[in-house]
Each structure stands twice: as structure tokens, then as C-alpha cells.
Structure 1
């Protein structure tokens, strides 16, 4: 959306311009209100943001002039006022201002006000269409505004870290459904388990934000990155003089910083065993003490734990407290590895390709079917993160219309290298070969040329008949993925 900004303070003007540009808008700035007014008379801006106190013309006068002008009378005008200047804000609203913002301007409040204005402008154009029967003109304006709205929402999602979650498989749909349910129960702790790269923090942020954008803090603490001697003060905070080298005024820990939001404990299996009862007490009583403190503090945030280790096994081995484990698993999400959700790979790869093309300015538009087959057959030990990195590397090195197999040769090369077993064979001792049920002498080749592809299809059909048409069992029997089987018989 095109936005006109008027402010005689150059620092404020620059800050507003940067924030609005990051949100996907096209700001035009003026430090002199008279020049801004003349420009607005010649060019329409859906939204005009102006300071109230300026030397040559104040904001109220500029507002009146804009509303009297044919070009800008339908523009939304947001007035920027100082704290405590409510009388001026009320006067501005009575004189036709769309909204007002207090200094210092909060970026989130600014983004929300701009989004409301964009929606308001959409409605204005729709009404104009009904009155003036100018459907084409309004459709173009509405499309432009909707694109701007989506850009802004996308920016807000990126800032919050939610991003786009692929949910094609039924298991992922269940996880997203449960995460949304847990969002509405902030007192319920959540444990997210899954292999490295499966997107545990993304799901944790989904639990935090739900299906909307949440303004409360999301505080993350990687338990494996904190020295055991500092862990307690990092989590609970400490009072002045609690230990040598502590700050004079003490310091708040992550429990306090989370406020009414979410405390995300990544790699929770690495939490020191002697501190786990204290975390359990926080979950039970919703209170805690700082290190060296005597004042009880309330804990009002949600706790989400995550890890790639088998906590249940660690409990049996005495490496993690059983009572804490059961308390954390009131809300339990187990993320499947990417190799168990192959149906999602084509959609994920396409999404990552679009994102990388946009970032790097390349020409890729699609993924070749042969490339998708390779991607679906890869085991992905690094899961979603590895898939995203693979697409980024291919786009970084190559540029084409279609992503072809040769663009990801590095992936198949690494797979063949990784598949070599790590064994030591004694000298002069033959390496054992894998045995098969079909004797080589039983295979009779015809004298005339034949199609290997037809032979392969014939073997697949016999295997399908062997398992009564069960594609999953057939794929396992033939040592190929279900997606590859589908490709061969389709």
C-alpha cells in the first residue's frame, strides 16, 4: 500500500519509513507539510500518517486541507500525538482522522493500525464500485490492497517465527489440531518430541500463537547451551549478591521474562537432574524464588519442553525424573520424521523453492517429476531442515526454469557415500554378498531384445498380487518408497 508520511523530525521520519518498508508497503516521506499537501493533491495515497506538531503547518490544519481536497478526501489519516495529549487526538478524530498513535510509536501498534486502514480502504473501494459501477477499477484496487495485506501478515508471521507449516499428512494435521487446542490451555505444559530438524520450535510457536498472532513473549532457552553451574540463575534469576560476580541489582531469569507468554525449554533432556524438582515445583505451584531470594514470585507463563532424545527411556535409566516427565506430557506432541511423511515432501520442496527463488532472484518455476522422485526416495536423516537446505543449495548454485536431477547431484552422492557400511574386512577373506531367493540359473533371458521397463512393471504387478494390492507392504518388499511405487505404476 502507498503511504504518505509527514514529520519534521528526520529521525522519526526515517524510522517510520523503515518499519513500513519492512512490512511490504511503499512509503513516501516529507518533512515539510506544505510540500506534502501539494503532492497529495496530485497523487492519491490510501493512507497518510502525519505528526501533530510541525512549525509551518500543524497536523490538524493539514488534516483539514487533505479532507477538503478531491484527491485525498478518501484517504485515511493517522495522527501522531504526544503522550497525554488526548484532547488533540479527540479533536483530530472529530475532524475526520481515521486513527491516532501516541509517541513513542510501538511497531506492533503501527502495523495493526495500517492493517485496519488497508481493510477500511478495501471496503471504501467496494462501496465505490457498487455506486459507480466500475467493477474493473475496484477489482484492481482490491487485489493490490489484498496483496499488501498478505505481505504484512507474512512479515508478522516471519517476525513471530511461525512461518508456513506443511500439513498434508494426516499425522501432521492431528499435531496442528492438538497444538491449537493446547494454545487455549496456557496452564497445561507441553512436551514436543522428535528427531533433529523435524520442526519442534515451529510447532512450539504454533502452540504459543495458536491460529492468530499473539502479543505475549516467547522466550526460548536451549538447555544444552547453558553451563550447569549457571543453569539455575539463568532459569530462575538471582538477587543482588547471590554469588561472586553477580550484578549489583540482581537479574530476572527466563521464568520472569516469559511473563504471560511461553517459556520454551529446548533440549530439555539436558536439564541438570538436581534442578528438575525445582521445575516440577514451578509447574505444580506456579511460584518460584530467585537464587538468593526470599520473595516468592508468581509464574504465569506456559512451559513447552522439546527434545530429540527418548525421555521415556531416560526415565527408565534414571537420567530424567519420572514425575517431571509425566507432568510435562499432559500435552504431548510427537513429530514424525520426514521419511514417515513422504506425501508432504513434494509440497514442502515446492514451498522452499518458491521462497529461495524469491530471496535469490532466480528463475526456477517448478520441480521435475524425476527430481521429486529422488527427493521422496531420500531418507532425510536431517528431516525438514535438511530438505530446506538442499533446495537452498541447489538454487544458490544453479539457475534454470525447472529443478532437475542434475541440480541435486550432491544429494545422491552424499547418500551413496553414507550408505557404505562401516566395517573392517580381514585381508584374503571374501566380503560376504547379500543372498537372494531367486537362483541366477533360474533366470532365462530371451534371444530377442526386450523392455526392461516392462519387466520391472511385471515384477511390481506380481508383488502387488502377492500382497493383495497393499502398496505399503509391496514397496517395503521391493525396497522402494511408496511414492516411487506409485510413480512406476501410474
Structure 2
């Protein structure tokens, strides 16, 4: 069984011996007669708790405490004083001391305070271990952020995480890492040891989305479970919900979500009793919600409730500084997985990676490097290993199909109309498939067909 290590810092030899005698039965003890000696031990030994006298020869207890905090570590500090020196006690508490004791020491009080301090330390360590497990499980240590844009996104996420329930809107193309940022916020918040529930609003049947989110009571509809079912909001109580592809929510569900954001409560489908839960809502979208508002597919009042804190993740093609670090990161990751020995990327291969449009963003990069490491052998990734990238359907190369703005300008409405007509022709007039080709929702496609008077 682990024995906590306690450092006793006092210049009174009699008190040193007395405390050592009392505490050594249950703990490993170390003794220092001055602040300087205490700091030497603190730097060289693992210490869990410090009993620190305020009045010491040389540097006093307050200065010793300050220097211990600078050194860092998890040790809990309990101050001791022979005087009710309120100013010194307040200073030490502000600097992070756990508690203080007045001499002559009451042994029962001493034992109670040490028990409380060590219990507090134990909880902190358990919390940190949970954090480490969460980081490992969801690869949060793997976030590559060399570009200024990604560094800004992470700084914003870190700031937002400090609030308890601020609603967040994360915008970015598919594959840019919106879920990673959402998990980063959850991990850095005080909710990290509670559930993180990811809901893809576009993947749930539109008829069942309300029952999935809010649950349903028994007998609510044919085909439901006899005893009813808890919804995702209830399952995430205390934690965080990521509503991915939020733009796909039907208007009726948008109303219920708005009500929940205002009241932090909801009615299950078929239920008459309101349920209260404590969750942070993070919404993510790869489409413009402002466009949805203009096209009457997304509620303006819901948009403002979601857009309290906003993080925009730029596409990989706009984050050149991240491309090679990401490629090297995935190379090392898949070296380990496939037991390969790639050590770098040749200059010509680097140029190919930097020039590629990365329409699939980080997800595409991951898949490309995984394929190379799996299929090829060698010590460097070479241009020949990346030949397949040129054959990717629909990939736009800088010298190929990428649209360049003419010096004379262009008419954006005419260009949009032309692209919609091409998409409809390619999809045989099917609005849904045409919308997919252009990366927009079906309601947006219908709106624009009507706007431009396109005959299908």
C-alpha cells in the first residue's frame, strides 16, 4: 500500500521529533530545519504534503511556499504558526496553502487536517488520471497545430472550456477536425469525467430525431420499446453533447432544441413530465447557417442561441504550415501500426503534398498516408508513392479545374447558376444527388433552383 511522504519544516527540534514520532507510523517523513533545506528536499524527493512553519531562520515560510509553488508539483502545503498572524496566514492561503495550524498543535486537529489534505490530493490525482485516459482514448495529444489559424482555434477552445455551460458553434468543412475540437473543449472543462455524446443530426432518420434526442415514454409510438427509452440529452446529463451537422435538423426539432437551450429542460416524446438536465451544447456544421436563415431552413433565434462562442476551423488547403507536420505525424502513427521504417518525406513528395487541394481535409490526409505506409516500403515517402492522388475523382489541382478569378472579375450569380445546372445534368435532374455534388443541403438546392428560375 502506498505511503504518503510528508515533509516537516520547522527549526524547533523538539517539535520536529514529536511530529516525526506521531506521523511516522502512517507516513514516510522527512525533516528540514530551514526553508533552504526544505527546498533542496522538495526538489530532490517526491513529496505529497508539507507541514511548513511560517517563522524560520533564513527565508521564512511564506517565501519558501512561494518558491515551492514555482517549482511545481502536486504537494499539499499546511502552514504552521505560533501566532495568530492573520496577514501571513491570508498571504499563504492566497498563494495556495491548503490550510493552517496554530501552535501549540492540537494532535486531533492535525490528523483531521492532514487526512482532508491527502484526500484532496488523492482526488486531484484521480481526476488527472481520468484526464490522461481521456486524452489517450481520443488522441487529443495528437492535435497538430503549427498554423496560426489552428493555434487560434485551440486558444479559443481552451478559453471556452473554462466556462461551465457556454454554448459553442464550430464551423468547418468536412474532415477539418470539428469533433476533435469539441472533445478538446470537453476534456479541458470541469465536465471531462462525465459523458461526451456525439450525435450526427444528418444520420438520424428525420422521423426519429426527436425521440433520439429527447427520448420517449412507453407506448408513445408503434415499434418503440415497451418501457420507453432515454434520449441522448438525458444520457449526457452532467457532460457535453455534440450536435454534428446541426443544419440538418428539421424545423420542429429546432423549436424543441431552442426551448431546451432557454429552459435546460425538455419533454420526452409522448411525455407530460418535464425533465431537467445539465449539459453543454456544442453544435458543429459544415454548411453556412446564415445561408440557412436566408433560405428559411434554419431558425434565426436558434442560430443566435448556438452562436454564443464560435470557432471556425479553416480547410487544410488554407493551413499550409500544418500539411507537412500532419503528414509526418500520420507517417509515424502508421509506421507503428504496420511495423514499417519510413523516416521522412522526399523534397518532391513534399511539394506534391503541399500542392494537393486536400478537399477531404485532415481525414483525406490520414487516408493518403495510411495507404502509402501500408502499401509501400522504403525509408522515405517518394512522389511515386503518391501517384494515386492524381486519380482521385473530382480532385481539383491548382493548375487544373480550380477556379481562378479573372482580372476583370466575374458574376457570382451566373457562376452559381451554371454549377447548379451542371450538377442537375450530371445527376439526371435528381435534386438530392445534385445537392450532394455541390456540398449543399437539399432545401438549399431547391431554394436556389427557384431563385434562379432553373427548369428541371
- Under TM normalisation by the shorter chain, which class is it? 0.5 to 0.7
In 2: Cα distance, 1:152 partner to 1:256 partner: 22
Partner of 2:157: 179
2:233 pairs with 1:255: yes
In 2: Cα distance, 1:183 partner to 1:307 partner: 19
Partner of 2:299: 321
In 1: Cα distance, 2:363 partner to 2:155 partner: 22
- The correspondence of residues 471-490 of structure 1 with structure 2, limited to 5 A, is none
Q: 1:159 aligns with which of 131, 134, 137?
A: 137
CA contact (8 A) 1:263 1:304 kept: yes
Counterpart secondary structure, 1:315: helix
2:216 pairs with 1:216: no
Partner of 2:175: 197
Structure-2 change in CA distance of 1:325 and 1:122 (3 Å)? farther
In 2: Cα distance, 1:151 partner to 1:365 partner: 32
- The correspondence of residues 333-352 of structure 1 with structure 2, limited to 5 A, is 333-352=311-330
CA contact (8 A) 2:169 2:284 kept: yes
CA contact (8 A) 1:339 1:383 kept: yes
Q: 1:363 aligns with which of 341, 344, 350?
A: 341
TM-score by length of 1: 0.54
- The correspondence of residues 240-319 of structure 1 with structure 2, limited to 5 A, is 240-319=218-297
- Displacement of 1:169: 1.3
- Displacement of 1:212: 8.9
CA contact (8 A) 1:282 1:299 kept: no
TM-score by length of 2: 0.58
Structure-2 change in CA distance of 1:253 and 1:410 (3 Å)? same
- Displacement of 1:308: 0.8
- Displacement of 1:183: 1.1
How many residue pairs align between the two structures?
290
In 1: Cα distance, 2:372 partner to 2:393 partner: 16
The list of structure 1 runs, each at least 4 consecutive aligned residues, that deviate by more than 6 angstroms after superposition, is 93-97, 150-154
The two structures, once aligned, show a CA RMSD in angstroms of 3.3
Structure 2 residue runs without a partner (length 5+) = 5-23, 29-43, 48-127, 408-456
- The correspondence of residues 390-429 of structure 1 with structure 2, limited to 5 A, is 390-414=368-392
Q: 2:351 aligns with which of 373, 381, 402?
A: 373
In 2: Cα distance, 1:361 partner to 1:399 partner: 11
In 2: Cα distance, 1:213 partner to 1:358 partner: 33
CA contact (8 A) 1:186 1:301 kept: no
CA contact (8 A) 2:134 2:187 kept: no
Partner of 1:234: 212
CA deviation map 1:16-61 (0-9, x unaligned): xxxxxxxxxxxxxxxxxxxxxxxxxxxxxxxxxxxxxxxxxxxxxx
Counterpart secondary structure, 1:252: coil
Farther off after superposition, 355-364 or 159-168: 159-168
Structure 1 residue runs without a partner (length 5+) = 1-62, 68-72, 75-92, 98-120, 125-149, 423-434, 437-490
